[in-house]
A and B are shown apart, each in its own frame.
Chain A
Amino acid sequence: MVDNTIISIRDVVKRFGSSVLAVNNVSLDIKQGEFFALLGPSGCGKTTLLRILAGFETPSEGQVLIDGDDMERVEPNKRPVNMVFQSYAVFPHMTVRQNVAYGLRVVGTPKPEIDQRVQESLSLVQLEELADRKPDELSGGQRQRVALARALVKHPKVLLLDEPLSALDAKLREQMQIELVHLQQTVGITFVIVTHDQNEALSMADRVAVMNGGNVLQVASPTELYEYPNCRFVADFIGKMNLFDGQVVGVKEGQVVVRADAITAHIGDISVPFGDEARGKVGIAIRPEKVKLDGEEPKDMPIRVRAKVVEVVYYGNESHVFLQSTSGAKITANIKNTSRNTHAGIVKGDQLWVSWCPQDTLVLTS
């Protein structure tokens, strides 16, 4: 094991009863000091995996190591991790200060040390002024800070956060995303955050594990995940993607030659850079913002498709242009509204050329 691995999840399986397979053979290593996100749609097993780390669920199979120690049969109250619950679970009958002190008090920390650490923790989340309030006198965002302070005061090796921002409104959520990242950098503790919001995962995390149906599909940095998704699910789940069915017809030094009827009718087979082996059916994918629109045929672009504008949706900073190629494929192009000449004068019904570079094209084998 590499010495900077703080959490090691090995072949973990979790079944509920005989029919529900919540986590299916997951192996993951999380590094010390990392901001790690578990991302996936509802019901994919993110919470279950997090609860396995916290000790609230026992894996049916496999092993969890935290800082090198096997966590089998280690109770939640003995693990060097702390959790921020989705509902915050702030104790309603205790003041903010009592809430934060709780985790130290129950393990018999001396009073002066409690006072000092509670004060540190409260100032970390800027709650000193509200220390003597009860939770029902706090806003949602403030209650979340209490939950954070209460967990951080324990100086855990890992902080686990289950959808910590999902109960906040959009504006506050954005602010808290930034604050959480700052906080993590300040305290230097490993954060493992569960979210179903891809923007949240991409903007906050150092690395993201994308889950679906109990499986981890890809573990990568946000840019890698966005630019090099390893399968159709990840490509589609992270951001928007134009996806076409294709067929590999040949391979030549680092390139695959693909026939995709929807887009290659006019130009014939296309060559796309691709390192791995590929044969048979593949997916050809291109991000909407990497697509160019022209009135004249862009002869210098190797991949170009003739298409008709079906719809234009205006979002202020950008516009989404929905097109249909002559062979029936749906293509979306996002264009930046860099001048007031809104979406470059494109209107419904226009016949345009859609084009993009081969090096921006993705080949998805699964």
Chain B
Amino acid sequence: MGGTFFFLYFPIVSLIAFSFNDSKRNITWQGFTLRYYEKAFENSQLHDAFLNSLTVAGVSTTVSTIFGTMLGLSLYRFRFPAQGPFEGMVHLPIVIPEICMAVAMVAFFFTVEMPLGLTTITVSHIAFSIPFVAVVIRARMAGFEQSLEEASYDLGANQWQTFWNVTFPYMKPGMVAGALLAFTLSLDDFVITFFTSGPGSTTFPIKIYSMVRFSVTPEVNAASTVLIVLTLALTAVALVIQSRSQRKIDHG
């Protein structure tokens, strides 16, 4: 037990610890400093990469949340022949090895003659985020009481009013959770991004990778720590939102 824990967290803890190490090398502890954080923040390439990452994550999250929600909602709402296989297909991109997804995306962009760059990265991120959002929405809607919509029609509302006044408020926490998931996935993604990026479209994880290839400096540690903290924070927010809305369902 303890061993497993150590094995799991030692590398991460030491990564974070050594980001504060006052030494050019990552070998021995020389004293506490924030110097490498400053350095990382002043590194304009790292800066650009971070902005790229935020742009890609922002756009892909917005688009994939909209489409993923529509997909999840229609999976919940419509009963059609071959529904089982179709639902399976929605899950497929989640289980397919990422490297295969990456190769498939590159091949696709090649066929449609789309030059690799931020656009192709964004499109790929949208593609792999949609299923995640759809699954979150589908799960959320499983707890929805259908008679609420009927009550709304019964009281004189049309379909549009019913959706915005009744269905959407229920779905919202699921959408937020799905969006946060899509955002973290996009921010952290390496494999697919690596394959679909072109010149001048370096994202944060890719930049870190290229820095590591020179040498593992505390600056890399600092950059990685920032990414860890960001990801953890987003995940925590998603979990809180989900558990809060879950509590509401359990009560209601």
Contact of B150 among A76, A92, A102, A154 (CB under 8 A): A76
| A40: interface (CB < 8 Å) | no
Bound together, the chains give a CA A151 to CA B248 distance in angstroms of 24
The segment from A7-15, A83-91, A346-354 found at the interface with B is A83-91
Interchain nearest-CB distance for B111 vs A (Å): 45
Chain B residues in contact with chain A, CB under 8 A? 145, 147-148, 150-158, 161, 165-166, 169-170, 248, 251-252
| Minimal Cβ-Cβ distance residue in A for B249 | A92
In the complex with contacts A92-B252, A93-B169, A107-B150 CB distance below 8 A: no
Of the candidates A77, A86, A93, the one whose C-beta lies within 8 Å of that of B158 is A77
Q: Are A56 and B150 in contact (CB under 8 A)?
A: yes
Task: Assess whether B158 is in contact with A83, with CB atoms less than 8 Å apart.
Answer: no
Q: What DSSP secondary structure best describes chain B's contact surface? A: helix
Given contacts A87-B145, A91-B148, whether A76 and B154 have CB atoms under 8 Å apart is yes
Chain A nearest Cβ from B17, distance in angstroms: 45
Q: Which residues of B contact A102 (CB under 8 A)?
A: 152, 155, 157, 165
**A82, A91, A107, A136: which contacts B154 (Cβ < 8 A)?**
A82
- Please measure, in the bound complex, the distance between the C-alpha atom of A313 and the C-alpha atom of B147, giving whole angstroms: 43
- Complex contact B155–A54 (CB within 8 A): no
Report how far A306 CA is from B225 CA in the complex, Å.
95
Q: Chain A: residues with CB nearer than 8 A to chain B?
A: 54, 56, 75-78, 82-83, 85-87, 89, 91-93, 102-103, 106-107, 135-136, 150-151, 154
Instruction: Find chain B residues with CB under 8 A from A87 CB.
Output: 145, 147
CA distance A87 to B150 in the complex (A): 12
Q: Which residues from chain A contact B161 at a C-beta distance below 8 Å?
A: 106
Task: Contact check, A150 vs B155: say whether CB atoms are below 8 A apart.
Answer: yes
Seed contacts A76-B150, A85-B147, A91-B165; 20 additional CB < 8 Å A-B pairs = A56-B150, A77-B154, A77-B155, A77-B158, A82-B154, A82-B155, A83-B150, A85-B151, A89-B151, A91-B151, A91-B152, A92-B148, A92-B248, A93-B170, A106-B157, A106-B158, A107-B156, A135-B252, A150-B155, A154-B155
Which has the most chain A C-beta neighbours within 10 Å: B147, B151, B166? B151
Show 20 A/B contacts (Cβ-Cβ < 8 Å), sorted by A.
A76-B153, A76-B154, A77-B153, A77-B158, A82-B154, A83-B150, A85-B147, A87-B147, A89-B147, A91-B148, A91-B166, A92-B170, A92-B248, A102-B155, A103-B157, A106-B157, A150-B151, A150-B155, A154-B155, A154-B156
A-B contact count (CB 8 A): 67
Q: Could you tell me the distance between the alpha carbons of A82 and B153 in the complex, rounded to whole angstroms?
A: 10
Please, how many angstroms separate the alpha-carbon atoms of A87 and B147 in the complex?
8
Most chain B beta carbons < 10 A, residue from A77, A87, A151: A77
CB distance from A254 to the nearest CB of B (A): 50
Please give, as numbers and ranges, the residues of chain B lying within 8 Å of A76 by CB-CB distance. Answer: 150, 153-154
- List the 3 shortest-distance A-B pairs measured between CB atoms, nearest first: A103-B155, A89-B151, A106-B157
Q: What is the chain B residue whose CB lies nearest that of A106?
A: B157
**Contact of A136 with B252 at beta-carbon distance under 8 Å, contacts A76-B150, A93-B170 already known:** yes
B residues in contact with A106, CB < 8 Å: 152, 155-158, 161, 165
A154→B154 CA distance, assembly (Å): 10
Residue in chain B with minimal CB distance to A102 = B155
Q: Which residues of A contact B169 (CB under 8 A)?
A: 93
Bound-state Cα–Cα, A103 to B151, Å: 9
Contact pick for B157, options A77, A135, A151, CB 8 Å: A77
Kindly report which residue of chain B lies nearest to residue A143, judged by CB atoms. Answer: B252
In the complex, what distance in Å separates the CA atom of A30 from the CA atom of B237?
55
Check A89 against B148 for contact (C-beta < 8 Å). yes
Q: Considering the chains assembled together, what is the distance between the CA atoms of A91 and B154 in angstroms?
A: 13
Nearest CB in chain B to that of A76: its residue: B153
Distance in Å from the Cβ of B241 to the closest Cβ of chain A? 15
Query: Nearest Cβ in chain A — how far from B147, in angstroms?
Result: 4
Q: Are A83 and B154 in contact (CB under 8 A)?
A: yes
Contact A77 B151 (CB under 8 A): no
Q: Verify A54–B154 contact, CB threshold 8 A.
A: yes
Minimal beta-carbon separation of A81 from chain B (angstroms): 8
A103 to B152 alpha-carbon distance, docked (Å): 8
The interface residues of chain B lying within 8 Å CB-to-CB of A154 are: 155-156
Contacts A91-B166, A93-B169, A102-B165 given; indicate if A85 touches B150 (C-beta within 8 A). Answer: yes
Residue of A nearest to B251 (CB): A136
* A83 with B151: CB separation less than 8 A: yes
| B160 CB, min distance to chain A CBs, angstroms | 10
A78 and B159 CA atoms in complex are apart in Å by 12
State the CA gap A83–B152 with chains docked (Å): 10
